[in-house]
Amino acid sequence: MKNKKRILIFASGRGSNAEAIHEATVNGTVNGEVVGVICDHGDAQVLERAKRWNVPTTVLERKAFDTKEAFNAAILEAAKSYTPDLICLAGYMRICGEDLVNAFPNQIINIHPALLPSFRGLHAQRQAVEAGVKVAGCTVHFVGTGLDDGPIITQVAVPVYDDDTEDTLADRILQQEHPAYVRAVTAYCKDALHIEGHHVSGMHAKKQ
């Protein structure tokens, strides 16, 4: 087996997707290892998870920096210090700075609780309910310099029921997020993903 990929996780909250990725590295599903967690909230639950995994963490809070530029520069330097092969945004509630994206081209992936390009940004589940769509879901994608605009790696659809609220839909989508993210990270760590422009192949070949 090829050398394990070094995976760096960015997270802001509970870290349930981070947990799924870490578990997949431990059980051998993913040919990688989580080498660090960067977090923008000092009280985030994901930091407790990382401590349990014996994985180092870096906490960088926006309020500690005078400018957004200084904050983004610190994030970039912290990310470089872990020498990652892959950066996974797992509930990271900030837009990545352009310098970070350019420093790690096609090496940053995110999961978004909607079927992109629909319902970008915050409260995607609420947007879906308010729009009256009948199908929602999640998207794993490479991170570009815009909002949720990078090439799509994989998507999973879930039904939207007549009595759904933002919370009930979010719970149904979350059940699919963990396995979808792990499948995408697995493919990345096998060097199975191929990018041409905005098209990513390697996970959705037609079954013979």
Catalytic (active-site) positions: 112
Helix count and strand count (H, E) for the chain? 6, 9
- CA 194, distance to chain mean position in Å, is 18
Cβ–Cβ under 8 Å, residues 39 and 201 = no
Residues 6+ apart with CB under 8 A from 48: none
The tokens describing 141, both together, are 């994608």
The rounded distance, in Å, linking the Cα atoms of 134 and 136 is 7
Of residues 40, 33, 32, the one with CA closest to residue 13: 40
Phi, psi of 183 (to 5 degrees): -60, -40
Question: Which 8-state DSSP code applies to residue 129?
Answer: H
Strand boundaries in the chain, DSSP class E? 5-11, 32-39, 57-59, 86-89, 108-112, 135-142, 152-159, 194-196, 199-201
